[in-house]
Amino acid sequence: MATLGDIGVSALINILTAFAFLLAFALLRIQPVNDRVYFPKWYINGGRSSPRSGGNFVAKFVNLNFKTYLTFLNWMPQALKMRESELIEHAGLDSAVFLRIYSLGLKIFVPITIVALLILIPVNVSSGTLFFLRKELVVSDIDKLSISNVAPESERRVQHIFNKYLFADYLAFLMSYGLFRFFVHIGLQYLFTVYICYMLYKEYDNIAMMRLQFLASQSRRAEQFTVVVRNVPQIPGHSRADSLDQFFKTNHPDTYLCHQPVYDANKFAKLVRKRDRLQNWLDYNQLKFERHPEKRPTKKTGFLGLWGESVDSIDFYKQQIKEFDKNMALERQKVVKDTKSILPVAFVSFKSRWGAAVCAQTQQSKNPTLWLTNWAPEPRDVYWRNLAIPFVSLTIRKLIISLSVFALVFFYMIPIAFVQSLANLEGLERVAPFLRPVIELKFIKSFLQGFLPGLALKIFLYILPTILMIMSKIEGHIALSTLERRTSAKYYYFMLVNVFLGSIVTGTAFEQLHSFLHQSPTQIPRTIGVSIPMKATFFITYIMVDGWAGIAGEILRLKPFVIFHLKNMFLVKTDRDREKAMDPGSVDYPETLPSLQLYFLLGIVYAVVTPILLPFILVFFAFAYLVYRHQIINVYNQQYESGAAFWPHVHSRIIASLVISQLLLLGLLSTKKAANSTPLLVALPILTLYFHKYCKNRFEPAFRKYPLEEAMAKDITDRTTEPEINLTAFLTDAYLHPIFQSFEEEELVEVRVDKHQSDADNAGTSNDLSSPSPPQGVHHHSFSPQYIYNFSSPAHYGYHYEAEP
Amino acid sequence: MATLGDIGVSALINILTAFAFLLAFALLRIQPVNDRVYFPKWYINGGRSSPRSGGNFVAKFVNLNFKTYLTFLNWMPQALKMRESELIEHAGLDSAVFLRIYSLGLKIFVPITIVALLILIPVNVSSGTLFFLRKELVVSDIDKLSISNVAPESERRVQHIFNKYLFADYLAFLMSYGLFRFFVHIGLQYLFTVYICYMLYKEYDNIAMMRLQFLASQSRRAEQFTVVVRNVPQIPGHSRADSLDQFFKTNHPDTYLCHQPVYDANKFAKLVRKRDRLQNWLDYNQLKFERHPEKRPTKKTGFLGLWGESVDSIDFYKQQIKEFDKNMALERQKVVKDTKSILPVAFVSFKSRWGAAVCAQTQQSKNPTLWLTNWAPEPRDVYWRNLAIPFVSLTIRKLIISLSVFALVFFYMIPIAFVQSLANLEGLERVAPFLRPVIELKFIKSFLQGFLPGLALKIFLYILPTILMIMSKIEGHIALSTLERRTSAKYYYFMLVNVFLGSIVTGTAFEQLHSFLHQSPTQIPRTIGVSIPMKATFFITYIMVDGWAGIAGEILRLKPFVIFHLKNMFLVKTDRDREKAMDPGSVDYPETLPSLQLYFLLGIVYAVVTPILLPFILVFFAFAYLVYRHQIINVYNQQYESGAAFWPHVHSRIIASLVISQLLLLGLLSTKKAANSTPLLVALPILTLYFHKYCKNRFEPAFRKYPLEEAMAKDITDRTTEPEINLTAFLTDAYLHPIFQSFEEEELVEVRVDKHQSDADNAGTSNDLSSPSPPQGVHHHSFSPQYIYNFSSPAHYGYHYEAEP
């Protein structure tokens, strides 16, 4: 067990690391050359088009204003400056609510830390059991500050003291007596639970209000009028489009407007992705040729470009792209014309928000598996590929994935251990005997022996979020926001079992599962509860490594930094290319939300048991709040806006943490021979779960449904302010498969941009190779040119539509 | 443990009892005097107005046609004659689906019984472990037919036989070898599960279709157009009615028609009940006086009529009723005029079924706890008293009741044991010393000693359904059908824990709970599973006593028989009184459904373990099907029609039985040292639960929601067939609190009846004392006389409305 000194050393190292990261960040961010890495949001927003810099050439890349080096920490107050309402406008509600989770952490843990430290540390220290009775045991200083130090109830001692001393002494003894202290712990657990529930309630209320206000303040958006219908049956003799029109004209006669069929364009999307890759190669080769005009780049046509005939690269890729374009045009026509490629899914639009709200919330058909309606996600939030999944397979997919997640959580060590058993030195020597002399070197050998076994695990943990995301995609959700929420849930289960429980109880998760299955249900919290105080030092270290240093790494953005500069060097030709290269992406909810929830869990569990852990959590929350506020203001550009749809999950997981902490305290106290006091704690989980149920009823509908009152109010406002609006034009192509738009719009965007700049450049742009000539047979497709889209790849829909007719 | 002989004796006794009941029924039912006890449904239906009987006076009471005595069992084929479609028309869908549960039992258990008996009995008997190895143990013959008789796996034996005999012998041994047999059991469990799931799926599909057809075939009904709105907020400065009108006119402008406020008339209802009691006493005394005109009945005014001044009873009650009428008129005016007695609940009616379906299924308000809409129950299904419960208290009520049910299920023995400890002979002697000489008589003493301890338990079990119904009422459901379903669920939990588990595991439910909490989760099915085969004899006896004899008692209707004849003798004056006295009530779902589900559980659990139990279950299902078919055709008159809303509960409890049986077989086999084969069984519960989830998604919406397609289709039909219908008139008073109708309608009914009979009687009727003069100030209340209601007491709403305008 670590002593206070060890913790101090560890803290120092981590603080130094974090500080080094911060310093690096502070220096790098003020260099103009890095401006697009650390402030991309402003470029995307249109707030900035080129780095702020001085006049001369050097100042374009390096900051020469030495005054700014002195104020290198001024990003912190800057990050706090923006008010929440501005933040919502700037970055969306998702980001603002994401930040509120950190501030909620602060609001919850600041008072708890103060109370816990003031009350519990003296109580735990003054109770001398560990000091006097167990000196032979190796007891860390941390343990002295935790509940481990409180003496178990001892009838004998009471008797003894009562006989020997006077009543006053007895009272004094009572003060130092274990049982009394456990009541302090139990009382504090009650106090903290009530306080946390109160804060959660206020926060939920607040966020529900924010969500409704946000939805109400939004301008006209396609998803407010649109419902996604799944399992559209095909009436024999009618086309699917006819069946749809007929059904909705019958059942929503006053509100039905139009519908957009969904095409199975996954094959086409694959072609688009391949073509993008070819285009990249072409760009790269052309740039190479421009820089070294003396030598045309060549390429071998064989496998991986390693052998075969050598050809001119530029000609080769141009030829390839030309062929691809021909194929794609054919494929596109096939998709549009073939009735079989129309999926049993459609986006149905209504004349009013009220009509859409009614359709989304009601059951349409007698057969409850047909005509399933739900709110359409935002156009840019749609995960098109999953719309092609047949609805019947969804339940099976869900079953399989939930079994897989269970297996992954509990048995992930098995394949890794297997790989580890292969990836040892003997194995390496057998596969590559020529490496033997190198391996046998003592330094390298010890390095490999230390490194190889953990390698498989490290690779696994690195790709885990990707694996979980793939699993969620297999589950068949049709919105990116849902996919991220589901991934985040899976990651949370993994962390809960393997980081939290796995660190507390020894053995693999599988062994734990096995032993838990063979223990009584009351024994489990006891087994875990007892180990809780002993693992405090481990978790303090964890918070410092994963929390502090991790967050400092987040602000430094080392990976995007390197990638941007590499791309900038080799690929970027036009401004559009540069924009693509600097694309900061969204906040990584699937990873940040679960780890955030883990910190809540740690804080809540240790609040009563080992309160010395709380300041470390506090530092994490405060620091992460600052960093993410900065990142959200300056870096991230959310891909979609779900209106804080993740909040109910965050809320319920904090509630789960509360219940876990209560059960563990129950288990811990029952082993402390203070078992008589535990009935006092039994009521807590029941009340907490009841509170959760209440919140669910009270607030969750605001996140799942759209009230008719609201819809009607917005409809009426619209009707009075813009009575002449042409909704059909507005909605016709809102949910067109992005694939069908990519080329036309790319061209359109360019044309527009050029027009804004100068009309003379126009001819040059249309000859620009980065803007491919549109394939034949596409222009016939219905397309309303007043809406400007900018689809470049399926992973990067920059979807903007403007409301003016 | 009982031997086969014991079972035979028990079976004989029970068969004789059942046969005696049947004989008594067969004789009693053909007596004209009992016609209203055994065929009330036909009187209510209007199919019969007086007993079929011969001409003379005696034949009016006793059946003199001796030919009918010979065909005394002909009710059985008669009960089967009516086709299901007629049955639905005759008794409603609830009753028809209730019968389908019994026929489902037959469909499930007939093939299972045949397969199980053919395959398992030979397998179990031929395996000789119990015969040869455990002769010293007391093993019943039943055990020989059960899984207990299959030898545990024994490696040694295989070795031994393999060494000694030839291969052919080895094969023969394999046939008799335990492990192989357990695979037979496991295979059969799979087979049965698949078969039961298939039958359940077919049945659910069928019943969902029947429900939709039934709803589609119904004529215009108030509940199709009406939604119950709870938590109606009061806008300051507006009355609640204005707020309602405004809200729905804004948010459902095209479909909103009108609303009916709900008054808090619980105090008034109490007065009505008291007045009814007084009226009964008055009737009784008047009848007494008519029979003995020489002596006017008198009554003492003091406590319980035991002392005090003696007064003329008829005058006394007349006076009392007069005073009551005055008070009630005042109270009624107060209720109608006082705005505070208008509850925040209203029945909101729409112009079309589509409008109501939309309103019922959508969220109305931004605040999800306000304007809560749901389908209105049928007017006769409304439990008015609970509409006055404030909505906020509902969640608390639910929490308290679920805790109480938990306590009741697991700790009900504690108060009963306490009462039992008081109600012993010494206690009795101390309280009533004068009884000592009587008690000390040996015969009486032994009777009391055998009787007293069980008395408290018997009383408790008798009133248990009432207790559970009161609990459900406290939970605050607003429909009688919901109340009955909730009560039925609670009763099922009680039976599951205290009858099923309680009989298998020794000790009280509380002790079981305690030991289960301290066992590992895998140990619990083992503990129970092992005891399962040993308790087969007990359950066979249980099926015979509770099932066979109970059902025979059901058809005899001894209690209603006695009560009807008593009432007929002392209270009945008019035809209406006789109708009231013969009121058969509804099928007692809260008691019959849970016990039915218990039989499913027993059958499914023992199908593989001790198949000899199955024929007893089969006999129960066949017999009960016949009896209830007869009762539903001839006796019961459903108070409400929920459209088989209970089916999803029945379905999910049969699924639960399946899962329980799988877990118990798993536990049983794991102790049989055939533990290696148990992984084969683990997949079963998962697949079964998955099947349940699939069914829930597939069919449950048909029971919870009303599809818009359906609503629109009916609306269109209505519009084309009856374009001129005045819906407002039809709906205005559909949901008027029954209290406000009771008097007017009683009079109206009488007037109508009289008009049909003869106009001359009219004057006599209005002087009739059974029809009280209407209180003042009531006639002003809006009331549409074209609808004839017949409300006599809150427990007996005979609600009929006619659709002709």
- pLDDT (tens digit per residue) in B541-573: 888 888 888 888 888 888 888 888 888 777 776
How far is residue A445's CA from residue A442's CA, in Å, rounded to a whole number?
Answer: 5
Computed over every residue of chain A, the mean pLDDT equals 75
How far is residue B306's CA from residue B301's CA, in Å, rounded to a whole number?
Answer: 8
A364: which chain B residues are within 8 Å (Cβ-Cβ)? 707-709
pLDDT of residue B450: 65
Nearest residue of B to residue A205, measured between CA atoms? B367
Q: Which two tokens stand for residue B541?
A: 């006896």
Query: A53-57, A365-369, B620-624 — which is least confidently predicted?
Result: A53-57
pLDDT of residue B779: 35
CA A156 to chain centre: 55
Q: Which of A549, A695, A731 lies closest to A624, judged by CA?
A: A549
How far is residue A634's CA from residue A637's CA, in Å, rounded to a whole number?
Answer: 9
Q: Is the CB of residue B200 less than 8 Å from the CB of residue B654?
A: yes
Share of chain A above pLDDT 90, in %: 13
pLDDT winner (highest mean) among A234-243, A565-574, B51-60, B615-624: B615-624
Cβ separation of B366 and A690 shorter than 8 Å? no
Q: Which two tokens stand for residue A63?
A: 């900051």
Q: Which of B362, B738, B641 lies closest to A353, judged by CA?
A: B362
In this prediction, residues A245-258 reach a mean pLDDT of 87
pLDDT of residue A150: 56
| A697 touching chain B per CB within 8 A | yes
pLDDT tens column, A266-321: 788 888 888 888 887 787 777 777 777 777 777 776 666 666 677 777 788 888 88
Predicted confidence band at B1 (pLDDT cuts at 50, 70, 90)? very low
Nearest residue of A to residue B683, measured between CA atoms? A403
pLDDT at residue B129 is higher than 70: no
pLDDT at residue B766 is higher than 50: no
Predicted confidence band at B142 (pLDDT cuts at 50, 70, 90)? low
In this prediction, residues B57-86 reach a mean pLDDT of 70
pLDDT at residue B596 is higher than 80: yes
Nearest residue of A to residue B686, measured between CA atoms? A399
Predicted confidence band at A112 (pLDDT cuts at 50, 70, 90)? very high
Q: Is the CB of residue A452 less than 8 Å from the CB of residue A425?
A: yes
| B368 touching chain A per CB within 8 A | yes
Number of other CB atoms surrounding residue A574 within 10 Å: 15
Cβ separation of A358 and B362 shorter than 8 Å? yes
Residues paired with A298 in a beta bridge: A312
Burial of A90 (0-12, 13-18, 19+ CB in 10 A): middle
| A206 touching chain B per CB within 8 A | no
pLDDT tens column, B380-391: 888 888 888 887
A354: which chain B residues are within 8 Å (Cβ-Cβ)? 251
Nearest residue of B to residue A357, measured between CA atoms? B362
Nearest residue, CB atoms, B709 vs list A365, A699, A712 = A365
pLDDT at residue B100 is higher than 80: yes
How far is residue B87's CA from residue B633's CA, in Å, rounded to a whole number?
Answer: 7
pLDDT of residue A472: 92
Q: Which residue would you say has higher pLDDT here, B31 or A86?
A: A86
pLDDT of residue A503: 77
Query: A76-85, A119-128, B484-493 — which is least confidently predicted?
Result: A119-128
Cβ separation of B368 and A517 shorter than 8 Å? no
pLDDT at residue B744 is higher than 50: no
Predicted confidence band at A136 (pLDDT cuts at 50, 70, 90)? very low
Q: Which two tokens stand for residue B136?
A: 């010293």
Query: A167-181, A668-682, B364-378, B571-585 — which is least confidently predicted?
Result: A167-181
pLDDT of residue B133: 31
pLDDT at residue B429 is higher than 50: yes
Tell which of A353, A358, A518 to mutate to test the B interface (max B CBs under 10 Å).
A358
pLDDT winner (highest mean) among A43-57, A174-188, A444-458, B719-733: B719-733
In this prediction, residues A647-672 reach a mean pLDDT of 88
pLDDT at residue A178 is higher than 70: no
Helix (H, G, I), strand (E, B) or coil at B267: helix
| A702 touching chain B per CB within 8 A | yes
Query: A266-275, A429-438, A733-742, B775-784 — which is least confidently predicted?
Result: B775-784
pLDDT of residue B656: 93
Q: Which residue would you say has higher pLDDT here, A581 or B772?
A: A581
Give the contacts of B476 (CB within 8 A, at least 6 positions apart).
Answer: B386, B389, B393, B394, B397, B398
In this prediction, residues A194-200 reach a mean pLDDT of 94
pLDDT of residue B650: 93
Q: Which helix (H) or strand (E) holds A98?
A: helix A93-126
pLDDT at residue A128 is higher than 60: no
pLDDT of residue A735: 83
pLDDT at residue B332 is higher than 60: yes
pLDDT of residue A174: 46
Cβ separation of B251 and A702 shorter than 8 Å? no
Cβ separation of B519 and A518 shorter than 8 Å? no
pLDDT at residue B601 is higher than 90: yes
pLDDT tens column, A694-743: 888 888 888 888 888 888 888 888 888 877 777 777 777 788 777 666 54
Give the CA distances from residue A308 to residues A277, A288, A302, A430, in Å, rounded to whole numbers and listed in that order: 21, 22, 4, 33
Give the CA distances from residue B560 to residues B36, B392, B575, B581, B638, in Å, rounded to whole numbers and listed in that order: 10, 41, 18, 9, 16
Cβ separation of A362 and B705 shorter than 8 Å? yes
In this prediction, residues B385-408 reach a mean pLDDT of 87
Share of chain B above pLDDT 70, in %: 72
pTM score: 0.77
pLDDT of residue A45: 72
Residues B207-225 as b/e (b if ≥16 CB within 10 A, e otherwise) read bbebbbebbeeeebbbbbb
B228 DSSP 8-state letter: E
Helix (H, G, I), strand (E, B) or coil at B799: coil
